[in-house]
Amino acid sequence: MSTPIRLQKYIADCGVTSRRKAEDLITTRQVKVNGKTVTELGTKVIAGVDLVQVRGETVDPQALERIYIILNKPRAIMSTVSDPEGRKTVVDLCRGIKTRIYPVGRLDYHSEGLMIMTNDGDLTQKLMHPKFEVTKVYEVKVFGVMTEGLLNKIRDGVHDGGDFLKPLSVRVIKQLAGKTWLEFRLNEGKNREIRRLCEVCGLTIDKLRRVAIGNLSLEGLGIGEFRVLTRKELLKSIGLNSKGEKVKDFEYVSPKKTVNKRKREKFRSPAPKADDQSFVKFRKEHYLVTVKAKPSPSELKAMKKAEEEGFQLS
């Protein structure tokens, strides 16, 4: 006889949703086991013996066709299955996929880049849990010019809202006249970690995109496009073996070289440093409010000057 497993894991293994969302379904009385509504998270079931129904539909892990998708999420797309405000979601982008899938982890509305979509709850748990130490690589464009002091502040880590935020690494990969591209590597996946870290350090983000998870990258995938992989291909690319164990020293190698201090120095004047408070007005929460009001002639002139200097709201 099969080994009993927790109900929320069983639901996730059936591809209904993630384990965390399955817990919500249980506590909100949307799950029945053998005809009886269950609300206890500690409930265990046996596959092939117990009848499990979610929202009135019977779920069975043996009947599920596993599907694995990588998607290049554009900005202004919700990384959820649905949105109460009617905004387009990552599921809407996976045209032609009839099997129910859901995103592994999230990118916020204004971020873009690599996302994994699947109905494999076991794989989702492996990718999301910090103990598996799957490295995520992000490219982030900030306003202004980075200094060694600012880079070291980020590398040392900061405290925010009870969390200690510290990347595995951060480096400059491109220096523009008025903006700087940084590469961040993380493996903990705290909520909005990069945005929070940058804000504490006084930096204003212009663009944020995830370019890799493990050794799985966006290479050959246009914005809004997706590709279907096998479980074996996905695990290998992420850096996990068939048992879901991390393979050492198997991570994404960026083709972009580090911009050294000497090359960055030539942009220091007259461009402001990246923590200059004049950039705060370009943060999403500020300009999304500002643009609703008709700007004055002086504000229009200032906005035009900012765009000419490379500080456009892109």
Structure tokens at 186: 């993380």
Q: Which residue has the tokens 């900061």?
A: 158
* Separation in Å, CA 283 to CA 52, 53, 195: 47, 45, 11
Structure tokens at 56: 């009135």
DSSP-derived pairing of the beta strands 44-45 and 226-229 = unpaired
Could you tell me which of 96, 93, 65 has the C-alpha nearest to residue 79? Answer: 93
Catalytic residue among 108, 160, 163, 276: 108
DSSP-derived pairing of the beta strands 158-160 and 68-73 = unpaired
Question: Is position 108 annotated as part of the catalytic site?
Answer: yes
Could you tell me which of 66, 22, 40 has the C-alpha nearest to residue 233? Answer: 66
CA 209 to chain CA centroid, nearest Å: 8
User: How many angstroms separate the CA atoms of 254 and 182, rounded?
Assistant: 12
On whether the CB atoms of residues 229 and 68 are closer than 8 A, the answer is: yes
Taking only Cα atoms into account, the Rg of the chain, rounded to an integer number of angstroms, comes to 22
Looking at the DSSP assignment, which residues form a beta bridge with residue 162?
none
User: How many angstroms separate the CA atoms of 103 and 298, rounded?
Assistant: 45
Q: Which residue has the tokens 């201090």?
A: 261
Neighbours of 175 (CB within 10 A): 19
For the annotated catalytic residues, the residue numbers are 108
